[in-house]
Amino acid sequence: MPLRVSQIRMPLDGDESQVIHRALRRAGISADEIESVELVRKSMDRRRRVPEFVYTVDIHLAEEPQAKERRRGQDQKNVDWVESTTLNPLTRGDEKLDHRPVVLGQGPAGLFAALVLAREGFRPLVVDRGSKMNRRVGQIEEFYRQGVLNPESNYLFGEGGAGTFSDGKLTSRSKDPRARAVLDVFRKNSGMDTVGYYYRPHLGSDRVRVVVAQLRREIESLGGAFRYDCQVTGLDIRNGKLRRIFTSAGEIPTSILVCAPGHSARDFYSGLLQDGVALEPKAFQMGFRVEHPQDFVDACIYGKMAQDLNLEPADYRLSAQVKGEGVFSFCMCPGGEIIPAIHDPHHFNTNGMSSFTRATGFANSGLVTTIFPEQFEEKGPLGGLRLQERFEKRASELAGDRYQLPAQRLDDFAAGRPSLELPPTSCRSGAIPANIEPLVPSFVGARIRSALQRFDRQMPGFISAHAILCGPEARSSAPVRILRESDTLEALGITGLFPVGEGAGYAGGIISAAVDGWRAAETVVQRHATPQ
């Protein structure tokens, strides 16, 4: 049981080596009493005129303290004994498996499910419709060079899933101990200790790729296998039990499928409905993506210190209520680039990614609001998906065959006038001036326009001729949920089918998707003996 010392404040240019000394002094612990000291959190408090770093430190004593001893330190403010949050070892089940478990999708949900299964001796087979990392990176380069999109392997499909070409922010508010375990895997495989304690850990797409490839090699070394360029096209479910799966490369017999298709596998959702899997429509967020020069954001957040201190490019979080409905920033990418996050040539959608250095000089973010199922025109499980498609299709017609961003200057959008020209953008395929209002439902556009006035008060200069608004940002989360049992995590009434991650409607980011995959794998391990 460690002694936690929190609220250790340091100036932004302070000497970080002093943090541990200050923690020990505040807790009244001498150096020879400790077994180890761990930095568990570093955040930045920007509420004061001059921002500060705030640290939390866990002190592990060499001898487990008696109850009386534990009183020591408690009279000090921000010093508390806390329970360790480690995961208990899994107890194996004994139900026989005739075949190895299969994992559909190698995004974070599928990858971490496969990792847990492999570490427990289950030798999973991972199947992904997209390509292996190096090939996928080449396909994306080709996309920009030739303007030809590969519908099976792109920014959304392929090794690492949507997490690969992402901002690589590893933020999580979850108290689930698996979230810490997932971060620990990222920390060990990236060699970056900050991932373990920084409040907004960031790897960037380049380092995420390294981690994903390393985890693939670990799974292979434990007997797991990967099949790329292999699309799952259907499921054979008989008497409420999964029997086999159909793929573009033939059928695979299995009674266990961890199903992690991500939120863009639209054809797969339709197939699931035909296979008798229960789905329901789900609220999701939609809006635009905004981009400013990074210097503007740094000056707003750090003030005069921006140039004096060597600080990381600043991010922001904005939110406003418009007639009782929230509009907020989403997936903000400091120093990032806007990408066409698409998998088919007829539907255009924006998102943002970055590399580790965050050095593009641009800052982009989604500005979105929630759309609820009762607002979908088409009823039924796929109503939200059809709504996304309708607006993405309009954008695709504007984007042209070079996939340029339909964009408007932010000051023009706010004033309701067209843009004749645009400031520079980070997007590699460029941008074209367009009236972007019709790219989202009218109430979404109106809400965002109102919210901009408040954002401009929170960050003066936000509405600017140097910023663009583009879109639509339609896929911030899945518009559909695959229904599942809350205890076994299996699809309703179907033994052996485990829908997980963002596509199944149970996650909204890299860490939460990985945690969901991890939990499903635990369920498999706890029920079954390892396959022969």
- Residue 519 near ligand FAD by CB under 6 A: no
27 close to 45: Cβ distance less than 8 angstroms: no
Cα-Cα end-to-end distance for the chain: 40
- Residue 507 near ligand FAD by CB under 6 A: yes
Q: What is the DSSP letter of 202?
A: B
- Residue 313 near ligand FAD by CB under 6 A: no
Q: Which is nearer to ligand FAD, 57 or 382 (CB)?
A: 382
**Region from 259-267, 409-417, 426-434, 459-467 binding ligand FAD, contact rule CB under 6 A:** 259-267
Q: At residue 398, what is the residue type?
A: L
Q: Tell me the number of residues near ligand FAD by CB under 6 A.
A: 42
Residues 6+ apart with CB under 8 A from 406: 348, 395, 398, 399, 431, 432, 434, 436, 439, 470, 471
Strand, coil or helix: 208: helix
**Region from 161-169, 221-229, 321-329, 450-458 binding ligand FAD, contact rule CB under 6 A:** 161-169
Structure tokens at 401: 């065959």
**Region from 17-25, 70-78, 115-123, 160-168 binding ligand FAD, contact rule CB under 6 A:** 160-168
Distance of closest approach, residue 282 Cβ to ligand FAD, in angstroms:
14
Among 201, 281, 501, 531, binds ligand FAD (CB under 6 A): 501
Q: Which is nearer to ligand FAD, 8 or 469 (CB)?
A: 469
Distance of closest approach, residue 156 Cβ to ligand FAD, in angstroms:
6
Q: At residue 277, what is the residue type?
A: V
- Residue 244 near ligand FAD by CB under 6 A: no
Q: Which is nearer to ligand FAD, 3 or 507 (CB)?
A: 507
- Residue 105 near ligand FAD by CB under 6 A: yes
Distance of closest approach, residue 222 Cβ to ligand FAD, in angstroms:
20
- Residue 331 near ligand FAD by CB under 6 A: yes
Among 23, 232, 459, 467, binds ligand FAD (CB under 6 A): 232
- Residue 115 near ligand FAD by CB under 6 A: no
The residue assigned the tokens 């959304």 is 156
Among 57, 79, 127, 524, binds ligand FAD (CB under 6 A): 127
Among 341, 414, 468, 525, binds ligand FAD (CB under 6 A): 341
- Residue 110 near ligand FAD by CB under 6 A: yes
> Rounded to whole angstroms, how far apart are CA atoms 60 and 74?
15
Backbone angles phi, psi at 258, to 5 degrees: -85, 115
- Is the N-terminal amide bond of 499 cis, ω within 30° of 0? no
Q: Which x/- pattern, by CB under 6 A, does the window 452-491 give for ligand FAD? A: ----------------------------------------
Residues 6+ apart with CB under 8 A from 478: 263, 282, 284, 502, 503, 504, 505
Question: Following DSSP, what letter does each residue of 426-495 receive, concatenated?
Answer: S-TT-EEE---GGGS-HHHHHHHHHHHHHHHHHSTT-S-TT-EEEEEE--SS-SEEE-B-TTT-PBTT-B
Structure tokens at 171: 């933020």
Among 2, 101, 224, 261, binds ligand FAD (CB under 6 A): 261
Instruction: Give the count of beta carbons closer than 10 Å to the beta carbon of residue 69.
Output: 12
- Residue 168 near ligand FAD by CB under 6 A: yes
Q: Which is nearer to ligand FAD, 341 or 470 (CB)?
A: 341
**Region from 23-31, 142-150, 154-162, 303-311 binding ligand FAD, contact rule CB under 6 A:** 154-162
Residues 6+ apart with CB under 8 A from 18: 10
- Residue 265 near ligand FAD by CB under 6 A: yes
Q: Which is nearer to ligand FAD, 5 or 137 (CB)?
A: 137
Backbone angles phi, psi at 200, to 5 degrees: -125, 70
CA 384-516-87 angle, to 5 degrees, is 160
> Rounded to whole angstroms, how far apart are CA atoms 154 and 500?
21
Q: At residue 300, what is the residue type?
A: C
- Residue 262 near ligand FAD by CB under 6 A: yes
Distance of closest approach, residue 128 Cβ to ligand FAD, in angstroms:
5
Residues that bind ligand FAD (CB under 6 A): 104-110, 127-130, 157-158, 161-163, 165-169, 231-232, 260-262, 265, 268, 331, 339, 341, 351, 353, 501-503, 507-511, 513
